[in-house]
Amino acid sequence: MTMVGATTREMLSRFESLGDENRLRILTLLERHEFTVSELVSVLQLPQSTVSRHLRVLADDGWVRRRQDGKTRYYRLEGALEPGARELWRLTAESLSDAVWIAEDGERAASVLARRRERAAAFFSETAGGWDALRDDLFGRDARFAPLFGLLDPEWVVGDLGAGTGTLADTIAPFVKRVIAVDRSPEMLEAAAVRLGRHDNVDLREGELETLPLGDDELDVAVLMLVLHFAVDPGRVLAEAARVLAPGGRLVVLDMRAHGREEYRETMGHLWPGFSEDRMRGWMAAADLDAYRHIPLAPDPNASGPMLFAGTARKPSEPSTTTGRLYI
């Protein structure tokens, strides 16, 4: 009777430890790979104290095992689970197959593991593996992207729409004929003027994204970089960007993928919690922009915000014979 009672209490404890979503996320990750606490913090986007607390519960209930390697401790799903616990986890894992966090956690985990592999390569080949860090130290991280700006046509006029303090305009101005930087905030434009004073081909204009202070067909490229989620009517913003593009011109959008961080509405003034691919495709079609490409960007393990996407579309060389529809 005593043994049965102990076993029952043990299984009840195991059931209880599976009753928290974050612990389920941890076990799902640890079933596939071995992670440190700091790596789990990067993947789960949770405080270290929270991750450590959940790992302690899972370790006490026998779900995870720990491996010490020098000063680093690695965690993995226990491989020697007794049959009852193994079957309980199998059923639980099957029920989680449609969980919304599975894919996002998987992408962040892949990025973390890629970073770990980079460190391993540096260990085995010190010179080659350390070149990226050395190059960044000597020339800055932007140097690795500089060749891409050389692909810009030197005769292009580029619109930095929602330019803020002019970081993007400052980067691309040397490569193109002219940059028109638009922002609604006089304070932002004042800061941009200081940064962009060394360029004689940057035009600063105050205005709203929904009613751009530009003429029809004035731009060869329009860029909306991390500003669309501040717009009341993103569909109208995209339609206005299409208006100021010349036939054959390109629109580039960099913004957040759809996420559930509602606190950003209060703390950062976001009006939209990111955007899905379907929603972006709908708005682009309504703006009579075609050839839309939607590219999820690999997450930076050191970034704390939602994951990003890049979207590109083209204004047809010939006017559309269809009337765009409003997508919400």
pLDDT score recorded for residue 1: 36
Residue 157, CA distances (Å) to 147, 167, 171, 217 in order: 19, 17, 14, 10
Average pLDDT over residues 57-68: 91
Average pLDDT over residues 106-131: 74
List residues bridging with 158 in a β-sheet: 179, 221
Give residues with Cβ within 8 angstroms of 313, minimum separation 6.
250, 251, 284, 287, 289, 290, 291, 292, 293
Give residues with Cβ within 8 angstroms of 161, minimum separation 6.
182, 209, 212, 222, 223, 224, 227, 237, 241
* Residue 29's pLDDT band (cuts 50, 70, 90): very high
Q: What is the pTM of this model?
A: 0.75
Domains of the chain by start residue, with CATH: 2-131 (1.10.10.10), 140-314 (3.40.50.150)
Average pLDDT over residues 29-54: 94
| Cα angle, residue 46 at apex, residues 45 and 52 outer, rounded to 5° | 130
Going by the DSSP 8-state scheme, the letter that residue 208 receives in this structure is B
pLDDT digits (tens, 9 = 90+) for 247-274: 999 999 999 999 989 889 888 889 999 9
Rounded distance, CA 220 to CA 158, Å?
6
